[in-house]
C-alpha cells in the first residue's frame, strides 16, 4: 500500500468572515464552525478561541487534539467509519495541515482531561504547545449523560477537522512524503537480507470513557489484527479517551504516530517494516490472555524478527504490556517496549505494576509523578474548575496567587508512550 502525504504548513490562524488558507494563514469562519458543532442537539453552546505558541494562555480541560486532513486521491475519506463511509484507507494521496490542530475542551469526566500551556515550564512538556490551536469549548445540554456528551464532543472535533482539511484540497503542498509497504511475500523477496520488523500498538480500550476506535469500531470489541501502517495517516484510529492526560494518545498522535514514521525512515535501509499489529487493553484476565495470545501468534505467523510494542495508559494496562512482551519473546521474536513510569514523586517506587525478565529492552517516556509548578497565565481557555481534581492534582493544586502545583500527569502528552514528547531517561 502506497500513500503520498502532502504537508501544508500553517503559520497562523485568525478569525474572518470566510474560511480559507492563503500564504500559510488559516482564516476560520466562527459562524461556519459553530454551525457544525451545534448540529448535535446534545451540545448547548460552543465557544471558539485561538491559542498560539508563546502566548500566556492555558487550555483546560483538554479532551482531544486533532490534525485536519483531506483525502485528495484514493479510496475512502478521513476518519473512515466515523465521518467518512467505511472503506479501506491508507493509499492514494492525502494532505495534512501541519503546525496547527483542533483542540476540543470542556468538562466530560473533569478529573482526566488535561492541561496545555502555550508558554512557561508546562509548555516544555507538551508537544501541542508548539502548534497554532483552534480550541473548541463545548457546553452540554442539561441532563445529558457523560458518554453521550463525550461522543458529541468527539464527533464535533472530527467534523471541524474535516471541514478545515477540505480547505486544502486544491492547494499545492509545501512538501510531499511517500510511504509504502508491501505484501508479505513481496516484501520478503524485495528485502531478503533485512530483519522483518513490525509495530505492535496497544490501544486503550478499558471502557467507561477509556476508549479507542478503529474504523469506527470500539477497540474493546475486536481481536488483535493487522493493519497497513499508512491507514492511521488517514484517521483509521481515533481517540475516545478520557484517561490521564500525560500518556493518552490524542487523535493527533494516532495520525502522526512517531513509531510508524521512524520505522518508515528505516524501511528498506536497515529493516523491512512488515506491518502494524493493533491489540487492545482489557479489564478481565481472560480478555488479556486472549488478546496477547493472538498478538504473539500473529508475530510468529508473520515470521517476524523483532517488534516494537507501545502501551497506552498505566497500572492495569501494564499487565497487558508484559503479557505481550513475554509471549512474543517466547515465540522467538525480539521485543522493545515503550512505556512511561509512575515511580512516585521521589522516583523511588516501582515504575510499572508488572514486570518480567523478558522485558529487557525498555524505552520510557518519563515519570508521570514528577511535580511541576505552573505559573499563572494571562488567559484561560476553558475553566480552572477541575484543576484540583484532575489526575496529578490535589485539593491544594490551585494556589491563591494563580499558580498550579501538579504532577506532570496532568499535562497533555507529557509522558506519551509512543515517544510523541520530550522526556526519556539515561
For residue 6, pLDDT beyond 70: yes
User: pLDDT-derived band of residue 106, with 50, 70 and 90 as boundaries?
Assistant: confident
Question: In the prediction, which pLDDT does 208 show?
Answer: 87
- Give the mean pLDDT of 315-324: 95
Report the pLDDT value the prediction gives residue 108, as an integer from 0 to 100: 82
Residue 109 has pLDDT above 90, yes or no: no
User: Rounded distance, CA 184 to CA 226, Å?
Assistant: 12
Q: Summarize the confidence of residues 255-263 as an average pLDDT.
A: 98
- Cα–Cα distance measured from residue 394 to residue 124, given in angstroms and rounded to the nearest whole number: 22
Mean pLDDT of 111-123: 92
Model confidence at 283, pLDDT cuts 50, 70, 90, reads very high
How do the domains of the chain map onto residue ranges?
2-410
Q: Which one is catalytic: 242, 246, 275, 299?
A: 242
Q: Write out pLDDT tens, residues 8-27.
A: 999 999 999 999 999 999 99
- Residues 6 or more apart whose CB falls under 8 angstroms from that of 256 comprise 67, 420
What is residue 425's predicted lDDT score, i.e. its pLDDT?
62
Residue 199: partners with Cβ closer than 8 Å, 6 or more residues away? 229, 259, 260, 263, 273, 275, 276, 277, 307, 308, 310
Band the pLDDT of 68: cuts 50, 70, 90: very high
Torsion region of 307: left, alpha or beta (phi above 0 gives left; psi -120 to 50 gives alpha): beta
Name the DSSP letter for residue 27: E
Q: How many CA atoms lie within 13 A of 48 on its CB side?
A: 22
Which residues are 238's β-sheet partners? 213
Q: How confident is the model over 210-229, as pLDDT tens digits?
A: 999 999 999 999 999 999 99
**pTM of this structure:** 0.96
Give the strand order in the sheet containing 25-29: 12-16, 25-29, 20-22
pLDDT of residue 236: 98
pLDDT for the residue numbered 111: 67
What residues are paired with 15 via a beta bridge? 28
Q: For this structure, is 242 an active site residue?
A: yes
Confidence of residue 424 (pLDDT cuts 50, 70, 90): low
Phi, psi at residue 284, to the nearest 5°?
-90, 145
Amino acid at each position: 500500500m502506497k500513500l503520498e502525504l502532502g504537508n501544508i504548513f500553517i503559520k497562523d490562524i485568525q478569525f474572518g468572515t470566510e474560511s480559507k488558507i492563503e500564504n500559510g494563514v488559516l482564516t476560520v469562519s466562527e459562524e461556519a464552525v459553530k454551525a457544525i458543532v451545534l448540529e448535535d442537539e446534545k451540545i448547548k453552546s460552543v465557544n471558539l478561541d485561538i491559542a498560539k505558541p508563546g502566548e500566556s494562555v492555558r487550555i483546560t480541560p483538554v479532551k482531544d487534539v486533532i490534525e485536519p486532513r483531506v483525502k485528495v486521491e484514493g479510496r475512502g475519506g478521513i476518519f473512515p467509519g466515523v465521518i467518512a463511509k467505511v472503506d479501506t484507507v491508507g493509499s492514494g494521496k492525502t494532505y495534512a495541515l501541519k503546525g496547527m490542530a483542533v483542540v476540543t475542551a470542556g468538562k466530560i469526566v473533569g478529573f482526566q482531561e488535561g492541561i496545555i500551556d502555550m508558554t512557561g515550564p508546562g509548555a516544555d512538556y507538551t508537544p501541542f504547545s508548539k502548534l497554532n490551536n483552534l480550541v473548541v469549548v463545548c457546553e452540554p445540554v442539561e441532563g445529558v449523560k457523560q458518554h453521550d456528551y463525550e461522543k458529541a464532543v468527539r464527533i464535533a472535533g472530527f467534523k471541524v477537522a474535516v471541514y478545515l482539511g477540505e480547505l486544502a484540497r486544491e492547494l499545492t503542498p509545501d512538501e510531499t512524503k511517500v510511504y509504502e509497504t508491501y505484501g508479505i511475500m513481496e516484501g520478503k523477496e524485495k528485502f531478503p537480507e533485512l530483519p522483518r520488523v513490525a509495530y505492535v500498538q496497544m490501544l486503550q480500550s478499558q471502557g467507561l470513557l477509556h476508549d479507542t476506535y478503529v474504523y469506527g469500531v470500539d477497540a474493546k470489541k475486536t481481536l488483535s489484527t493487522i493493519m497497513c501502517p499508512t491507514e492511521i495517516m488517514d484517521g483509521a484510529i481515533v481517540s475516545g479517551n478520557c484517561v490521564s492526560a500525560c500518556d493518552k494518545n490524542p487523535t493527533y498522535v494516532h495520525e502522526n504516530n512517531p513509531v510508524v514514521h521512524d520505522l518508515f525512515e528505516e524501511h528498506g535501509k536497515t529493516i523491512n517494516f512488515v506491518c502494524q499489529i493493533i491489540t487492545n487493553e482489557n479489564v478481565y484476565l481472560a480478555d488479556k490472555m486472549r488478546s496477547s495470545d493472538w498478538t504473539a501468534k500473529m508475530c510468529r505467523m508473520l515470521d517476524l524478527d523483532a517488534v516494537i510494542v507501545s502501551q497506552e495508559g498505566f497500572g492495569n494496562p501494564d499487565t497487558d504490556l508484559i503479557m505481550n512482551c513475554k509471549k512474543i519473546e517466547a515465540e522467538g521474536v525480539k521485543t522493545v517496549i515503550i512505556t512511561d513510569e509512575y515511580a512516585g514523586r521521589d522516583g523511588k517506587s516501582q515504575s510499572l505494576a508488572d514486570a518480567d525478565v523478558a522485558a529487557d529492552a525498555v524505552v520510557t517516556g518519563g515519570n508521570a509523578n514528577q511535580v511541576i509548578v505552573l505559573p499563572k497565565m494571562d488567559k484561560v481557555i476553558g475553566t480552572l474548575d477541575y484543576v484540583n481534581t484532575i489526575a496529578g492534582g490535589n485539593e491544594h493544586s490551585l494556589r491563591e496567587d494563580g499558580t498550579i502545583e501538579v504532577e506532570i500527569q496532568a499535562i497533555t502528552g507529557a509522558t506519551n508512550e509512543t515517544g510523541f514528547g520530550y522526556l526519556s531517561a539515561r
